[in-house]
Amino acid sequence: MRAFNAELSKLFSLPGIWLAYLIGAIAPAAISALESMAQKEEILAGVSTRLSEVGYIGLALGVQGVIILGVLAVSSEYLTESSESGGGQQITTSLTVVSSRFHLLLAKACAVTVTSILLSVVAIMTTISATHFVLGEYTPAFEVSKLIGAVCYWTFTALLAFGITVLTRNGIIPLAVLIINTSVVSFSFLLSKVTKLALYLPDRVGIEMFMFTSDRFLTPFTGGLVMFAWVFVLFIVAAIVFHRRDVAA
C-alpha cells in the first residue's frame, strides 16, 4: 500500500505528465464536438447512420492521454533528459526503496490503473458535455454499459502502454506505435484487411466494448475479455523480464 502511494505521488509529479492529463481531458471532447458538428445536419434530418457512434468516437480516438500516462510512468524511471543531471536513473532509487521488483511493478500498474480510471471519467464528462453543447436535445442517450466499456478500454490501453514500455525501457517506440494505432489509420485496421486474425488485436477488440454497433465482430463483453487477456499476458511477460533483467543494462 505504501509502495502504491509512492507510485501515485511519482505519477502526479512527473515532468510532462500535465500533457497526459490535458490531452486526456480535452482531446475526446474536441473530437466528439467536431464530429457532432459535421454530422449535425444529418442528425437533425434523422438520416444519420452514425448517430450511435457520436460521442463515442471521441472516446475511441482520444485515448492518447492514457497512452502517455502509461508510457511516462515507466520511461521516466529510465530516462533523464535534464541538462544538469549526470545521467542518474530513477529506477535504481525506486528499487532500493521497494526491494521487491514484483511489488514495485504491481504498485506502479495499480497507480496507472487508478489514474486512468479517473482520467477516463473526466474525459467522459467533458465529452458528454461537448456533445450536448453541439447537438442539444438531439444528443443520443449515453448508455451506462457502453461508458463502462469506454473506461475499461482506456484503462486497458494505459496498461498496454505500461507493459510495452517495461519491455522497451524507452518511451519512443510504444508512444509511436500506440498513438498511430489508435488513430483512424491504424496498423490493425490495415492488417485486418489482410487477415481476419488481426481483428483479435487488443485495440480492435477493445473498441468492440463501445463502438461498431452495426457490423460487430465480438460482443462487448467478449471484446473486453479478449483485451483483458492481452493486458494480462503482457503484464506477466513484463514482470518476468523486469525480474530477470539487470537494472543498469
* Cell numbers describing residue 247: 537494472
Binds other proteins (CB under 8 A): choice among 45, 185, 197, 244: 185
User: 4 vs 168, which CB is nearer to other proteins?
Assistant: 168
Minimal distance, residue 228 CB to other proteins, in Å = 25
Sign of the Cα pseudo-torsion (184, 186, 190, 192, in order): negative
92 touches other proteins by CB under 8 A: no
114 touches other proteins by CB under 8 A: no
Residue recorded with cell 458538428: 37
193 touches other proteins by CB under 8 A: yes
Cβ atoms of 166 and 109 within 8 Å: the answer is: no
Site string for other proteins, 43-62 (x = CB under 8 A): ------------------xx
187 touches other proteins by CB under 8 A: yes
Binds other proteins (CB under 8 A): choice among 49, 194, 215, 246: 194
CB proximity list for 67: less than 8 A, separation 6 or greater? 157, 158, 161, 174, 175, 178, 179, 182
128-136, 146-154, 172-180, 208-216 -> range binding other proteins (CB under 8 A): 172-180
171 touches other proteins by CB under 8 A: yes
Which residue type does 132 have?
Answer: H
167 touches other proteins by CB under 8 A: no
Sign of the Cα pseudo-torsion (154, 158, 164, 165, in order): positive
* Cell numbers describing residue 91: 529506477
- Residue 34 and residue 15: Cα distance in Å, rounded? 30
User: 3 vs 127, which CB is nearer to other proteins?
Assistant: 127
**Geometric angle at alpha carbon 138, from 224 and 62, rounded to 5°:** 40
User: 83 vs 96, which CB is nearer to other proteins?
Assistant: 83
**DSSP code per residue over 180-247:** HHTSTT-HHHHHHHH-GGGGGSHHHHHHTTTS-SSS-SS-HHHHHHHHHHHHHHHHHHHHHHHHHS-S
Binds other proteins (CB under 8 A): choice among 167, 191, 237, 239: 191
81-89, 98-106, 128-136, 220-228 -> range binding other proteins (CB under 8 A): 81-89
246 touches other proteins by CB under 8 A: no
Q: Where does this chain bind other proteins (CB under 8 A)?
A: 15-16, 19, 23, 27, 31, 34-35, 37-38, 61-62, 64, 68, 71-72, 75, 79-87, 171-172, 175-176, 179-180, 182-185, 187, 190-191, 193-194
